[in-house]
């Protein structure tokens, strides 16, 4: 089943150099999750031929405008296009009030329901759970309350070892083996020992999103070992002081977090507008963590 993230925007603060502000579309088990919603997000969805009405889950990291000013526009468009099904939004404290004020003063009564969960800042929190997926928030270190998100597949079932003779095993007993059980005959005698017929489950995949944060090793336990880590890298290394003052991260610092968290791949984004050319940022990060890529708009990164 596919597990991929499409970058819709990755510039910091303002749109510049044909780059939009932060937004990403993660797809797991064919379910799309919108992460952050900078002001260009609707246009980017259209450009990438993504149907906005299919999005049922939106996650907002914090209330700096470059991460959510597209949200009220998207909510409004979904209404105008006749949406009926619920929209589930997970965002910072205060977002409910902001949306309510927008809708109140435009005298808009939405023809669908918004279920808005405001996450609690400062702790890891299970935001949503399906049969196969969990999404947690965890605290980042920014100027205002800001959360990262981790999307994980739940542990999978054991796999039948096709190299073993299984043609004679009835389907109900195959299911039992996949569930990790030994299979017994009618007399209670062991018929198929689980470990003789099954292999370990396929690994569960995980994606971590760290929007805006200063360098902080406290986040490492939350993101340890994920397949792909998106981590902001607003500045290059010669602006470490400025990064610390503004609660942002440099290329080198993002590489260090990826290295210490032992992730597989690092995506860097939230590029300062001062950088038109991004390849030097990539090169600098790679001196610390080789498997790094730029989170460029329109690019899609898959986890196999
Ligand atoms: Zn911010």
Instruction: Note the Cα 299 to chain centre separation in Å.
Output: 15
Task: Compute, in degrees rounded to 10, the torsion defined by CA atoms 221, 225, 230, 235.
Answer: 70
Q: Distance, CA 67 to ligand 1 centroid (Å)?
A: 7
Task: Please tell me which of 154-163, 199-208, 281-290 the model is most confident about, judged by mean pLDDT.
Answer: 281-290
Answering whether pTM is above 0.95, one says no
pLDDT tens across 9-61, in order? 999 999 999 999 999 999 999 999 999 999 999 999 999 999 999 999 999 99
In this structure, of 58-62, 65-69, 174-178, 216-220, the range with the lowest mean pLDDT score is 174-178
Give pLDDT, residue 237: 97
pLDDT of residue 167: 74
Q: How far apart are the C-alpha atoms of 182 and 123, rounded to whole Å?
A: 40
CA 145 – ligand 1 centroid, Å: 9
Output the CA 296–ligand 1 centroid distance in Å. 19
Catalytic positions: 66
Instruction: List b or e across 234-263, with b for residues whose CB sees 16 or more CB atoms inside 10 angstroms.
Output: bbbbebbeebeebbbbbbbbbbbbbeebeb
> What separation in Å is there between the alpha carbon of 28 and the centre of ligand 1?
26
DSSP codes, 68-115: TTTHHHHHHHHHHTT--S-EEEEE-TTHHHHHHHHHHHTT---SS-EE
Please give the distance, rounded to the nearest whole angstrom, from the Cα atom of residue 5 to the centre of ligand 1. 21
Compute, in angstroms, the gap from residue 164 CA to the centroid of ligand 1: 55
Task: Look at strands 23-28 and 31-37 and give their pairing.
Answer: antiparallel
Average pLDDT over residues 213-229: 98
| The pLDDT value given to residue 70 | 98
d(CA 262, CA 138): 18
DSSP-assigned letters across all residues of 146-168: -EEEEEEEPPPPPEE-TTS--TT
CA of 206 to the centre of ligand 1 (A): 24
| Mean pLDDT to the nearest integer, 131-148 | 97
How many angstroms does the Cα of residue 151 sit away from the middle of ligand 1? 21
Which token pair is 277? Answer: 């050319």
Interatomic CA distance for residues 249 and 267, integer angstroms = 13
**Tens digit of each residue's pLDDT (9 = 90 or more) over 248-273:** 999 999 999 999 999 999 999 999 99
């Amino acid at each position: 089943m596919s597990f991929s993230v499409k970058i819709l925007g990755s510039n910091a603060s303002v749109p510049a150099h044909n780059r939009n502000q932060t937004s990403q579309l993660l797809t797991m088990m064919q379910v799309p999750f919108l992460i952050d919603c900078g002001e260009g997000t609707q246009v980017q969805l259209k450009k990438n031929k993504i149907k906005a009405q299919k999005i049922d889950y939106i996650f907002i990291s914090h209330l700096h405008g470059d991460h959510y000013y597209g949200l009220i526009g998207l909510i409004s468009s979904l209404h105008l296009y006749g949406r009926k099904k619920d929209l589930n939004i997970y965002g910072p404290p205060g977002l409910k009030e902001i949306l309510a004020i927008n809708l109140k003063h435009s005298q808009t009564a939405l023809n669908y329901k918004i279920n808005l969960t405001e996450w609690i800042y400062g702790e890891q929190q299970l935001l949503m759970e399906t049969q196969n997926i969990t999404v947690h928030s965890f605290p980042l270190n920014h100027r205002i309350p800001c959360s990262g998100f981790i999307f994980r597949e739940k542990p999978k079932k054991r796999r039948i070892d096709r190299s073993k003779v299984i043609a004679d095993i009835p389907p109900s007993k195959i299911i039992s083996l996949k569930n990790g059980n030994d299979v017994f005959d009618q007399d209670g005698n062991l018929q198929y020992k689980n470990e003789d017929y099954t292999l370990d489950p396929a690994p569960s995949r995980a994606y971590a999103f760290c929007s805006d944060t200063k360098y902080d090793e406290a986040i490492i336990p939350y993101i340890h070992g994920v397949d792909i880590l998106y981590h902001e890298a607003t500045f290059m290394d010669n602006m470490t002081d400025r990064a610390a003052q503004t609660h942002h991260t440099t290329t080198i610092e993002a590489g260090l977090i990826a290295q210490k968290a032992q992730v597989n791949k690092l995506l860097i984004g939230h590029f300062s507008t001062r950088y038109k050319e991004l390849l030097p940022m990539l090169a600098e990060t790679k001196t610390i963590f080789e498997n790094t890529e730029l989170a460029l708009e329109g690019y899609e990164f898959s986890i196999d």
